[in-house]
Structure 1
Amino acid sequence: MGQKVAGTVYIKADGIQFTTTGGVECPLSDVKRESVAPGFFKEEDLVAYAKATIVHSPDLPIKQITTATDQTITVEFKNGGVYVLSGAYVIGEPVSKGDDGTIDIQWDGTKGVWQ
């Protein structure tokens, strides 16, 4: 029997739902480990984030999205996984691309949790 593992992804920022083009990314862990010798490792904290390519629709509240500093981002994957990012804010320089009508956007936050 087949299992659905990919497809349409739903993403919301403070309840505002975006149309995505499928390019959504969320980290699986909040730490990065690296071996320093056999059986020994170091561990670094990672910043929680959510990246997406969203459609620049005419009603997209750009100012609200780009100026908020404490958003809750919810990402629902087609495989049933849900990632919730809290304390989120937009980083980098998101731009609207006229050739395909999309915006690449990334939110960093204080805590990311898989539900």
Structure 2
Amino acid sequence: MGKKVAGTVYIKVDGTQVTVTGGVEVPLSDRKRETVAPGYFKEEDLPGYVVATVVADPDLPIAQLMAATDATVTAELGNGWVYVLSGAYIVEEPAAKGDDGTIDFRWEGTKGVWQ
């Protein structure tokens, strides 16, 4: 029997669903480890994040998305995994691409949790 590992992805920002094209990226861990010497390592905390390419729908609440500093972003992947990012805000400089009607967003936040 085959197992679904990819497919339609759903993104909600504060309960508002946005239409996504292509992939969504979310981290598997909230820390980065680096070996200092064999058997010894250091850890660095990493911010939770969600990266998505969103359709530039005329009804997309751009002002609301850009102004949010404490949003909840929920990403439901095609394989059924769900990642919830709280305390989220948009980072970098998203720009609307007129040739394909999309916007690349990157949200970072205070806590990302797999459910």
**TM class, shorter-length:** over 0.9
Deviation at 1:65, TM superposition (A): 0.3
CA distance in 1, matches of 2:85, 2:22: 18
Aligned residues: 115
Letter in 1 for 2:55: V
Letter in 1 for 2:95: V
Mapped pair 1:32 → 2:32: yes
CA RMSD of aligned residues (A): 0.6
Give me the identity figure in percent. Answer: 70
Contact 1:84-1:114 within 8 A present in 2 as well: yes
Contact 1:7-1:22 within 8 A present in 2 as well: no
CA distance in 2, matches of 1:94, 1:16: 19
For residue 94 of structure 1, what is the aligned residue in structure 2?
94
How do residues 61-76 of structure 1 correspond to structure 2 at under 5 angstroms?
Answer: 61-76=61-76
Contact 1:10-1:77 within 8 A present in 2 as well: yes
SS of residue paired to 1:64: helix
* Alignment TM-score, normalising by the size of structure 2: 0.98
CA distance in 1, matches of 2:3, 2:35: 35
Deviation at 1:55, TM superposition (A): 0.3
CA distance in 2, matches of 1:3, 1:34: 34
Alignment gaps of 5+ in structure 2: none
Alignment gaps of 5+ in structure 1: none
